[in-house]
A and B are shown apart, each in its own frame.
Chain A
Amino acid sequence: MTGNRLRYLFLALLLACHGAMAHNASTAFVYWNSDNHQGRIDIAIVDLQQLTVLDGDADRQILWHEISDAADALERSLQTAIQVSGSDRRCILKVQLQGLTTHLDEHYAAFSLQPDCVPDQLHYQLLITRDALHKALVSIVGGDNQRLAVLSAEQPRLDLSLDADSTATRTANFLWQGMLHLWFGYDHMLFLLTLILAAIGFRGQTDRAPLATLMRDLAWIVTAFTIGHSLTLMVAALGWWQPSLRLVETLIALSVSIAALNVLYPFMGRHTYRLALVFGLIHGFGFASVLGDLLGDSRVPLPELLSFNVGLELAQLCVVLMLLPLLWRAAARPAWQQWMVPLTCTGILATGLVWTFERAL
């Protein structure tokens, strides 16, 4: 490479690292009405140039009449690149230049889309063969409902029904978030860990309980925790009652310490499930506040509430199934009683107390 080119490339790269950029990548907008099965696509004027030459007089200006003069060619390009099909055949799509509009201060040409049958699928090839970053942002409306989607090189096909992902995807999404919240909510995780440790036992047990017995005991404890937090999650998420978040947070932290103390000094005896039930009620209010935050509303629709709760339970089950066999094996070692449990529980107890003070103050 020549020295000049090298320096020029340097500049390009240096600015790239610094990263101040204007504008957005190429974006089209598709508006589909699922009531009358017609739509509209808005394409940036700068992108239309990828479909045909617009500046025929080469004066480095594009005027509206140059767009309308090229309407036939543009409409043909769109007909080729946008295909819609019904259940039994591909529809013939009538595309017509409708006028000018703007998106984010940028001029767009709007084209109406009128298929000759009722389509349920859209296959989009516009511009993505020339621009790897091009995306079409799709809004499907029908009645009072709206669904948003994105078409891109990776995702060129779209189901045009209004509820294609509204239920399934949202349910899966909230289920996954329920799982994430338990796994990464370290206070909940520590509480669960202490429940498992309490079930395995520590002081005064020379022999471990068989794994099957242990699992049965733990099932009761975890079920009690589940019942507790499901109840209050429902109470708070449906907007019936939500205590002060600070109080809930503080009590959750305190529950961690008390549960750890119960492992070191099993004051609940074989009734740890009662502890799990009572503190489960507290943790449920904590889960509810997260769910409310996610939806930007303190009242949560029932499907989201249920899927979030199922997510919490699945995550809980995963943790128990993963940890229990490991801890059960570890419990056979002398170190279990000598230092593993005392040290772990003392640490958890102290952590819980620190959180309690932090959150209370």
Chain B
Amino acid sequence: MTRYCQTDVCGNAVTRTAISAVRVTLLLLGTCTNLLAATPPETFLPAPDTLLLQGDAVHLQQEAMTPINADLLADKVQQQLDLSRQQGSPRPLGAARKMLDQLDQKKWQARHWWLSATVRQRLHDFDGAAADLFRAMSMAPNDPQLHFSAFSVAMAQGRHNDAAQYCKRFSQLSPGYLADACLAEWLAVTGKQDIARTTLRQAISRPDQNHDSVGLQYAVSTLAELESGKRPEQADRLWQMALALDPEDLYSRSHYCQWLLAQQRIDDVLRYSDGYDNVDAIAITRAQALRLSAPDAATALADRISARIIQASWRNDWLHAYEYAVFFLDVRPDPVAALDMATRNWQQQRRPEDAALLARAENALNTVTDK
């Protein structure tokens, strides 16, 4: 049997891809078939006034799917993207994609290509997103938003040189917190963490002329992440500040919880993750914390996450492959499944944390194989 590579993560991508292609069958044919019940879940007749859905998830009217003009369509797609963000749900993205497909691409403006790129990016189709942004930038070369989007996509794909170019152009077109944050992010991934932290600290302490709360929140969470490994007290303060600026920022919440877990602050993890069991990244961190404090509750939560993974595998939908790899490493150890998920994630995203996760999964499997 071929041993799993222990070299640097960029080294044996072909081998890993092949291993993954082989390994994934374990999940699709084995785990799924074995774990999914052949019988459907039981049904029941609830009381007439049983509440099933409420709030923004309730539609007051059916969304028309008749052809509409290009601007109106873009607005509707935008609404779906906003809904997806508010609910933290990929569900509206499917509707957004379908709406965009209604309009002949010959009629697309830069904004449509940008929206399409955003949908693709959220679904981790980074190649598609990059292509859409390229089309958008050919139509609106001075739109700063496009350059920032292109920066994000390039960073996710590990194209750091391209990312630097997009960030530089964005900074020229739209200086401010976001420009400082993108520069710091780029510096950090290219090994200049100290300069990155200093740059961003100075930027955040500067008086804000534009009242850019969105940019400030982004810069603060970026700095919190940079400080996490170096200055715990600063990191703690910054994560809390990021959450105070936007309590619904799931990214900051999930990373803060992970950081708290690493600091062994179990009670704080449970406090900040309470009510977010539907968010895989946060739920998995919570399950880890519960293992140390309330094993029964940890088992129940892990069972629910397992069920989600089984459903994702049945759908062949690997949007949360990163989180699932962490789950199979830290919550329900299964090195084969962990490597599968980490490899799938690596096929989508090439950030430093994705590389670290893949290396962890490889080591976990090699450790088991060596035994």
List residues of A whose CB falls within 8 A of some B CB.
1, 6-27, 29, 31, 40, 42, 45-46, 49-50, 52-55, 58, 60-65, 67-68, 98-105, 107, 110, 129-135, 137, 139, 141, 146, 148, 150, 170, 173, 177, 180-181, 183-188, 245-246, 248-249, 286-287, 289-290, 293-296, 355, 358-359
A181 lies within 8 A of B2 (CB): yes
Known A53-B59, A133-B97; judge A186-B145 contact (CB<8 A).
no
A63 lies within 8 A of B312 (CB): no
Known A64-B49, A64-B52; judge A146-B33 contact (CB<8 A).
yes
B111 lies within 8 A of A1 (CB): yes
Q: Pick from B16-24, B190-198, B287-295 the stretch touching chain A.
A: B16-24
* Contact partners of B85 in chain A: CB under 8 A: 11-12, 15-16
B317 lies within 8 A of A24 (CB): yes
B26 lies within 8 A of A184 (CB): no
Asked whether B215 is an interface residue with its Cβ less than 8 Å from the other chain, the reply is yes
* Contact partners of A19 in chain B: CB under 8 A: 122, 124, 251, 322
A234 to chain B, nearest CB (A): 17
Asked whether B205 is an interface residue with its Cβ less than 8 Å from the other chain, the reply is no
A225 to chain B, nearest CB (A): 17
A50 lies within 8 A of B63 (CB): yes
A248 to chain B, nearest CB (A): 8
A129 lies within 8 A of B49 (CB): no
* Contact partners of A135 in chain B: CB under 8 A: 315, 317
Known A16-B122, A20-B281; judge A26-B91 contact (CB<8 A).
yes
Residue interface bits B250-289, CB-to-A below 8 A is 1, else 0: 1101100000000000000000000010111110000000
A13 lies within 8 A of B46 (CB): no
Most B Cβ at <10 Å: residue of A14, A18, A25, A355: A14
Asked whether B10 is an interface residue with its Cβ less than 8 Å from the other chain, the reply is no
Asked whether B207 is an interface residue with its Cβ less than 8 Å from the other chain, the reply is no
In Å, the complex CA distance between A355 and B1 comes to 12
Contact check: which of A10, A100, A150, A245 meets B43 at CB < 8 Å?
Answer: A100
Asked whether B212 is an interface residue with its Cβ less than 8 Å from the other chain, the reply is yes
B40 lies within 8 A of A105 (CB): no
In Å, the complex CA distance between A91 and B104 comes to 36
The SS class assigned to the B binding surface is: helix
In Å, the complex CA distance between A356 and B13 comes to 23
* Contact partners of A150 in chain B: CB under 8 A: 314-316
B97 lies within 8 A of A132 (CB): yes
B88 to chain A, nearest CB (A): 4
Q: Pick from B228-236, B303-311, B324-332, B355-363 the stretch touching chain A.
A: B303-311
A18 lies within 8 A of B251 (CB): yes
B311 lies within 8 A of A20 (CB): no
A20 lies within 8 A of B279 (CB): yes
Asked whether B48 is an interface residue with its Cβ less than 8 Å from the other chain, the reply is yes
Known A20-B88, A55-B58; judge A27-B311 contact (CB<8 A).
yes
* Contact partners of B208 in chain A: CB under 8 A: none
* Contact partners of A13 in chain B: CB under 8 A: 118, 121, 145, 148-149, 152
In Å, the complex CA distance between A241 and B39 comes to 37
A181 lies within 8 A of B22 (CB): yes
Extra contacts, 15 of them, besides A54-B58, A102-B41, A146-B36 (Cβ < 8 A), are: A15-B250, A17-B121, A19-B322, A20-B282, A21-B122, A50-B62, A101-B42, A103-B311, A131-B91, A132-B98, A133-B93, A137-B314, A141-B39, A180-B22, A184-B15
